[in-house]
Structure 1
Amino acid sequence: MTPFRPGPDGYEASWEEAERHVLAGVAREVAALLREQAGLPDTDADDPLGALAATMQSTGTPREPDDPAARRLLPDASRDDASVSAEFRHLTQTDLAAAKVRGLELFADLLDGAALDDVDPSPAGLDYGLDDELDDRAVVLVTRQDARDVAAALTDVRLVVAQRLGLETDDDVETLHDEVLADAVDDDAARGLDADVRRYWGGIFVAAGFAQESLVGAMLDDHRASRSGG
């Protein structure tokens, strides 16, 4: 995986097939989690996000997520006032969840549709240990119009994976990052996670972070260039 760089049609990076396949699958899993936890109906042809039916359902008591990962994406508005949190969910949760689902599915579709191209077979990028026999590279193109939604989707993927791995602090994140890049991931006996599980999900966490940070960096480069007239 190489960093995203500004190009004439948007932001481009070179990803291996394994990277595209795995991250697209995880993005869809997170989208499905949000659908279930927020009470969004299943997809149908006339209302792909189930937003109309969910809006009609939201006139009653809003569904409060019981999955800790979903609560990271749909947090309480107030930790101290239950009535404020309930009202906030009633007014905003459906739209927020639907927007996140839209971004996650957009990101997954983008990865699935990435076309194989003539790319450098070994460009400088990130090696984070996702094991897979698929190694065909393709250019992943994120249009400027979709860039914010894709960056948000990558953040949502990271938040869910972080919860599953028990990453609570910056030190936890830094430790896992170093372990993944050094291929020195150990068991987490306290959470019942063996090294293979932590290595796999840790690789996804690090890869999503690398992609998100480089995409945001490319967007900032674009912004600076436009302000300077470059």
Structure 2
Amino acid sequence: MTPFRPGDDGYEAFWEEAERHVLAGVAREVADMLREQAGLPDDDEDDPLGTLTATTQSTGTPREPDDPAARRLLPDASRDDDAVAAEFRHLTQTDLAAAKVRGLERFAALLEGAPSDAPFTEDPDDDDRAVVLVTRENAREFAAALTDVRLVVAQRLGLETDDDVETLHDEVLAGTDPDDDEREIDPTVRRYWGGIFVAAGFAQESLVGAMLDDHRARTSGG
């Protein structure tokens, strides 16, 4: 995986097939979890995200997520006032959840090379890599999807602090397992999901950096 760089048609990076396949699969899993936790309807051909049905049936308070990972994506608006939190969830959760599901599904489709999104072009120097091209119009949504994937993986791995994240980064980059016996997650599982967390973070940070560089160049006339 290479960093994203601004190009004529958007932001480009070379990703290996395994990287595209794994991150697309995780994004779809997160979208499915979020759909279920938020009470969005299942897919249908006329309304694949269920947004129309969810909007017309959103009377009463939406389902409050009981999965801690979903609550990271759909947090309470207030920790001190349950009434305020419930009202805010009633007014915003359906739209917010549907938008996140939409972004995650589009992110996965792009990585899978869906023709409705930016196509892949093969890297002539590596048969296993292809260009992931994110249009400027879709860049914010793509970056948000990567952030949502990272938040869910972080919750599953029990990452609560910056120190936790730094420790995981060091383990992944060094290819080592934790030395202590306090981890509740199998080291092999932690290594696998840790790699996904680090890869998604690298992609998200480089994409946001490319967007900022692009914005500075355009506003300065460069």
TM superposition score category, shorter chain reference = over 0.9
1:47, CA displacement in angstroms? 1.0
For 2:190 and 2:71, the matched residues in 1 are separated by: 22
1:40, CA displacement in angstroms? 0.5
**Equivalent pairs, count:** 217
TM-score with structure 2 length normalisation?
0.94
Q: Percent identity?
A: 83
1:188, CA displacement in angstroms? 7.1
Aligned to 1:169: 161
> Is the partner of 2:13 in helix, strand or coil?
strand
Q: Find out whether 1:215 has 2:220 as its counterpart.
A: no
Alignment CA distance shift 1:195-1:103 (3 Å): same
Aligned to 1:129: none
Aligned to 1:74: 74
Aligned amino acid, residue 2 of structure 1: T
Aligned to 1:17: 17
Q: Is the 8 A contact 1:51 1:98 kept in 2?
A: yes
Q: Is the 8 A contact 1:16 1:138 kept in 2?
A: yes
For 1:66 and 1:199, the matched residues in 2 are separated by: 26
1:118, CA displacement in angstroms? 2.9
Aligned pairs for 1:28-67 (under 5 A) are: 28-67=28-67
Unaligned runs of 5+ in 2: 114-118
TM-score with structure 1 length normalisation?
0.91
1:191, CA displacement in angstroms? 4.7
Q: Is the 8 A contact 2:20 2:112 kept in 1?
A: yes
Q: Is the 8 A contact 2:14 2:131 kept in 1?
A: yes
Aligned amino acid, residue 153 of structure 1: A
Q: Find out whether 1:136 has 2:122 as its counterpart.
A: no
Aligned amino acid, residue 129 of structure 2: R
1:53, CA displacement in angstroms? 1.4
Unaligned runs of 5+ in 1: 122-134
For 1:224 and 1:159, the matched residues in 2 are separated by: 28
1:58, CA displacement in angstroms? 1.7
Q: Is the 8 A contact 2:73 2:148 kept in 1?
A: yes
For 1:189 and 1:205, the matched residues in 2 are separated by: 22
Aligned to 2:116: none
Q: Is the 8 A contact 1:151 1:212 kept in 2?
A: yes
